[in-house]
Amino acid sequence: MTNPVLPRGLIAVDKMGGRVLFLDPQTFATTLVLDDFEKVPHELLVVRQSSIAYVPIYGDGIHGRNPNPGHLLSVIDLGARRHVCDIDLAPFVAPHGLLIGRDDLVYITCENSAVVALIDQKKRAVVDAIETESTNSHRLAISPNGRWLYTENEEDASITVIDLPARKLLRHITTPHPLAGLAVSPDGKLLVAVDDQEPLLFLIDAATFELVKTLPLADVPEPAQIARYSPDGQILLVTSLRSATATLIDAGFTRQTTVTVGKQPMDAAFHGGALFVACQGDGSVHVIDLATRKVAHHFAAGVGCESLAFF
C-alpha cells in the first residue's frame, strides 16, 4: 500500500484582515502572512501544476455596494510563498469568482463590468472578455467537458450560459428567486443554484435549462450561499453564512446532514476525509469529519478567512 501524498501547504485568503495566510497543513499554525495587497483580496484559485495561486482584488466594498472596485488579480508563488506580481484587468473591474478552463485560461467574473475576463497564465494578461449582460455576475461554474461556463447573476435571478469555444453568450436561465451560489454536477448534467431568498436549492437540467426540482435545505433556517462539490463528486457542500451551518448532501440528493460551524461560514476545502470550512465572522476554520459528518475540531486563522486550499 502506498502512503498518501501529504500536501506541501495550506493557503487561506483572510478577507476580513486584507491578507493571505500560509498555514502548516498538519498543525494548522499560521506560518507566514502576506499583507502587501490592494483592498480587498477575495476568493482564491490554486493551480497545482504551476504552483501558482490567484487572488482577485475585489475592492473595498461588498457585492452590490462596491464604490471603489479593484482591477487587479494578484499572483502568488506557492513554492516561494511570495506575492510576485499583479495582473491589471483594466478596464474591467470588481473581479470575483474565478476558475481555470480546460484550455488553461483563467476565467474571472468582473462584476461591475458585466464580463468574464480571460487570462493567459503565461502572458499574465487579459486576452479576451465575454459579456454576461449583468453587473450582478458574482460566481461562476464550468462544465466538466469545458464547453459551457455559467455565471449566477444574484439579484437578477438569472444564470448566464456562455459557449466557451465560441466565446459568446448563449442565453439566460431565469430562476424563481435571486441567487447566491452556483455549482455544476460532476457529470455536467445538472446545475445547482443556491436561493438567496429562502433556504432552497434550484436543480436545473443543463441540457434543457428547465428547473427540475426545488430542494429545501434540511435544518437550515436562513438562505445559503456557496455550493461546492467534493473532488470525487459524492458530496455537495452548501454553506449558509446567515445560519452558521454547513450542509452535506449526497450526490443523489436523498440524504442531507446539516452541521453547525463558526460564524459566517463561506468557502471550504475537501482534504483527506475531512472538510475545512472557513468562517469569516469569527476567524475560525471548522473541520468536519466526512465519515461521521460531525465537527472534529476547529482552529483559528486570521481575522476572518473566506477561502482556503491545500496544495
In 3-state terms the chain splits into helix, strand, coil percentages (rounded to 5) of 0, 55, 45
Instruction: Enumerate the domain spans of the chain.
Output: 87-216, 220-311
Per the prediction, the chain carries an average pLDDT of: 96
143-153 burial code (b ≥16 CB/10 A, e <16):
beeeebbbbbb
Domain 87-216 adopts which CATH fold? Methylamine Dehydrogenase; Chain H (2.130.10)
Distances (CA, A) of 169 to 190, 192, 207: 19, 20, 16
pTM: predicted TM-score of the whole model, two decimal places: 0.96
Give per-residue pLDDT as tens, 265-303. 999 999 999 999 999 999 999 999 999 999 999 999 999
Residue 2 pLDDT level (bands cut at 50, 70, 90): very low
3-state class (DSSP) for residue 155: helix
Q: Are 68 and 60 in contact (CB under 8 A)?
A: yes
We find that the CATH architecture of domain 220-311 is Beta Barrel (2.40)
Give per-residue pLDDT as tens, 34-46. 999 999 999 999 9
pLDDT of 67 > 90? The answer is no
* Closest to 241 (Cα-Cα) out of 187, 306, 296: 306
Query: Mean pLDDT across the stretch 197-224?
Result: 98
Rounded distance between C-alpha atoms, residue 186 and residue 229, angstroms: 8
| pLDDT for res 5 | 63
